[in-house]
């Protein structure tokens, strides 16, 4: 092999090993085998000046060198391309075992959850669910409910009057019993209606009081309804809400719109009646008021009390909700602190 070609090969190999980037390799290709100005391309052109004998051997050697250079550069370029691809893949790599990002979806308020559960029970017992106004007139708040003019419930100390005075016609309802009147005005008996909703009282907020809270009213009017039907209905209702072993008891009480009236207690859902922290050791929890609809109330809405009788009961949702979820303060239900609310997700 001619010294010249040996020299060229050595030069190329030195340059080849110095090529560390893709751009070096393409530059190397231009410099050595580029169509214009490539070292070997130029070298080929000098072959014509040689004798036919020399041309043959040098030409063959040169060709062999050129092939070697071309394939060495191709290999190098291939390595760079493979490296680039591997880097790209590494960048795009995703860990399919990584848990997904949780979507922050909204959820229902604990009072809503309880209300829905209670509505479901009423519906399964054949009651229609009805919604009604929170601002009421004297008629619905008091007169129709047989609440006399001098009754303490009418006092501005108990009721929120819209202009702050008892003489104004409008007030926020202080009990869902107003819905008894609406329900009976809209229908003719027999009827069964349950009305959940907000009520308002001038109470100073504390752990067990809030000026706004929730009640649900149940009303049934039919022929021949007795106190036995009220007890049976409440017992069944409470069993569905707290479980089949729950018992109820009725304590005589006074509400102007019922006669007789009773307060309802049920055996504590936590201890089953043996006494615990939830029921303050008594084994019983107060549920709400009830009674047989007063004949005066039936008359106001044009129902003949000689033909129809019925019962009503009302219960507060907030304290119930607090007891069920072990809350020590019902105001938690209204503060909208997401750290509290998120626990009901």
Alpha-carbon distance of 176 to 196, in angstroms, equals 7
* 56-to-85, 269, 270 alpha-carbon distances in Å: 43, 108, 107
Question: Does 290 contact ligand PHE by CB under 6 A?
Answer: yes
Question: Does 312 contact ligand PHE by CB under 6 A?
Answer: yes
Nearest residue by C-beta to ligand PHE? 289
* 295-to-55, 99, 291 alpha-carbon distances in Å: 132, 64, 12
Question: Does 250 contact ligand PHE by CB under 6 A?
Answer: no
Window contacting ligand PHE (CB under 6 A); options: 69-77, 255-263, 319-327, 336-344: 255-263
Q: Note whether 246 and 136 are within 8 A (CB).
A: no
Of the candidate residues 255, 266, 269, 308, the single one contacting ligand PHE (CB under 6 A): 255
- Looking at the DSSP bridge assignments, the partners of residue 129 are 194
Window contacting ligand PHE (CB under 6 A); options: 53-61, 70-78, 226-234, 282-290: 282-290
CB of 263 to ligand PHE, least distance (A): 8
At residue 267, the 3 state secondary structure works out as strand
Question: Does 221 contact ligand PHE by CB under 6 A?
Answer: no
- Calculated CA dihedral for residues 74, 78, 79, 84, nearest 10 degrees: 140
Nearer to ligand PHE, 58 or 178 (CB): 178
CB of 180 to ligand PHE, least distance (A): 7
Question: Both tokens of residue 17?
Answer: 């090993």
Q: Note whether 192 and 308 are within 8 A (CB).
A: no
CB of 97 to ligand PHE, least distance (A): 56
At residue 214, the 3 state secondary structure works out as strand
Nearer to ligand PHE, 159 or 175 (CB): 175
Nearer to ligand PHE, 19 or 179 (CB): 179
Question: Does 225 contact ligand PHE by CB under 6 A?
Answer: no
CB of 271 to ligand PHE, least distance (A): 25
Of the candidate residues 238, 291, 292, 308, the single one contacting ligand PHE (CB under 6 A): 291
Alpha-carbon distance of 231 to 239, in angstroms, equals 12
Question: Does 132 contact ligand PHE by CB under 6 A?
Answer: no
* 281-to-55, 224, 245, 270, 278 alpha-carbon distances in Å: 117, 39, 18, 11, 8
Of the candidate residues 132, 189, 197, 288, the single one contacting ligand PHE (CB under 6 A): 288
Binding-site ranges for ligand PHE (CB under 6 A): 175, 177, 255, 258, 261, 288-291, 312-314
């Amino acid at each position: 092999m001619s010294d010249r070609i040996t020299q060229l090969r050595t030069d190329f190999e030195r340059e080849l090993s110095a090529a560390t980037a893709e751009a070096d390799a393409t530059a190397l290709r231009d410099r050595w085998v580029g169509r214009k100005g490539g070292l070997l391309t130029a070298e080929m052109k000098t072959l014509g000046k040689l004798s036919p004998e020399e041309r043959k051997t040098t030409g063959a050697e040169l060709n062999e060198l050129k092939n070697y250079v071309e394939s060495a550069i191709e290999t190098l370029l291939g390595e760079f391309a493979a490296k680039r691809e591997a880097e790209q893949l590494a960048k795009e790599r995703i860990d399919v075992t990584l848990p997904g990002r949780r979507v922050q979806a909204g959820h229902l308020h604990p009072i809503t959850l309880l209300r829905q559960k209670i509505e479901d029970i009423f519906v399964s017992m054949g009651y229609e669910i009805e919604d009604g106004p929170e601002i009421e007139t004297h008629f619905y708040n008091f007169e129709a409910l047989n609440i006399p003019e001098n009754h303490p419930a009418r006092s501005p100390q108990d009721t929120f009057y819209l202009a702050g005075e008892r003489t104004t016609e409008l007030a926020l309802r202080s009990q869902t019993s107003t819905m008894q009147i609406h329900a009976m005005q809209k229908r003719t008996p027999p009827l069964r209606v349950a009305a959940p909703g907000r009520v308002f009282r001038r109470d100073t907020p504390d752990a067990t009081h809030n000026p706004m809270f929730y009640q649900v009213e149940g009303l049934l009017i039919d022929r021949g309804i007795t106190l036995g039907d009220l007890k049976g209905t409440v017992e069944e209702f409470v069993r569905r809400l707290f479980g089949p072993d729950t018992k109820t008891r009725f304590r005589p009480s006074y509400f102007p719109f019922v006669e007789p009236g009773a307060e309802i207690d049920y055996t504590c859902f936590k201890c089953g009646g043996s006494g615990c922290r939830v029921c303050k050791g008594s084994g019983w929890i107060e549920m709400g008021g009830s009674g047989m609809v007063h004949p005066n109330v039936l008359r106001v809405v044009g129902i003949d009390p000689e033909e129809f009788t019925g019962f009503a009961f009302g219960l507060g949702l907030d304290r119930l909700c607090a007891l069920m979820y072990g809350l020590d303060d019902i105001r938690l239900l209204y503060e909208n602190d997401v750290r509290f609310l998120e626990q009901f997700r």
